[in-house]
Amino acid sequence: MTQLRHKRLRPPAELKALLTGYRYRHVWQGYVTDVFRFENTNSRTVLYLKRYRRRSWQNAVKEKQVLACLKGKLPVTEVVAFCSDRCYHYLLLQELEGVPAHKLIIQIPAEQMLKIMVETMLWMHSVPVENCPLDESMPAKLVRIRFLLDKGWLRKDTYNARTRRNAEHDYQFLCEQIPDQEEMVFTHGDFCLPNFLLTDRRVTGIVDLADAGPGDRYMDICTLANTMCYNYKQPHKFIHYCQSIFELYGIADPDWDKLKYYQLVNEML
């Protein structure tokens, strides 16, 4: 995430009409998306607006598809409206119940949080993927990474003057070492604590689903281990968290090479 700054909105007329009587504030600024919280001054109804830069059209359309696909299967939001203008694409969403998990790390010890998250992962991974139109397989991810690499849009926290990482070298490694077999489940794609809303220590909302779809379960596993290290300020515990996730998930013989591979995928996306 980049530094949050005040953002002015000039939404299309159709969207402006839906938001009459609402006040808003800018609550999140990402690499391709801004999020605004709208609250009706009379009814106290809350809506969230995700504004995608034009270059992220695929993400905007895909998140709308994912939400439709998961409706009735997982606690995801309803789409109120979807529209575009010359500069942006807009996705207006209903509010979900709960508090982002990363805001509860003082109240919930790390091991308890991990148990909650792995139970949620198993729930999500149990969603059937047969005949699903979405694709988060490794070949699809490599196409996206190549596109980002060619445009110069890779993550600045991974590839910058300080890290001196060679993105082309990392991409070639991914192409050459692609796993022989993917263990396909319905993945979140960004299985981080801020993307899960909790009520009474149970997940009541799942958000930020632009990268969700059928993919290898190791993608979510390594991302969860990373987010636990980051949010609980325990960078040295990555292996510990991975081992705990494998045990809770029921993976008796983990593939550590595959985990390392998807760690690099996560860093490039």
Same domain, 62 and 110: no
Residue 8 in any domain: the answer is no
Q: Would you state the pLDDT for residue 58?
A: 66
Report the sign of the C-alpha dihedral through residues 214, 60, 114, 96, in that order. negative
pLDDT in tens, the chain (269 residues): 333 444 678 889 999 999 999 999 999 887 778 999 999 989 999 999 999 987 665 688 899 999 999 999 999 999 999 999 988 999 999 999 999 999 999 999 999 999 999 999 999 999 999 989 999 999 999 999 998 888 887 777 777 777 788 899 999 999 999 999 999 999 999 999 999 999 999 999 999 999 999 999 999 999 999 999 999 999 999 999 999 999 999 999 999 999 999 999 999 88
Same domain, 180 and 208: yes
Residue 1 in any domain: the answer is no
Domain span at residue 54?
A: 13-94
Dist CA 25 CA 214 (whole Å): 34
Same domain, 73 and 111: no
Q: What is the CATH number of the domain that holds 36?
A: 3.30.200.20
Tell me the pTM: 0.92
Last residue in a domain, options 64, 94, 124: 94
Same domain, 157 and 254: yes
* Site of tokens 């139970």: 119
Q: How many domains does the chain have?
A: 2
Dist CA 237 CA 230 (whole Å): 10
Residue 116 in any domain: the answer is yes
Same domain, 107 and 188: yes
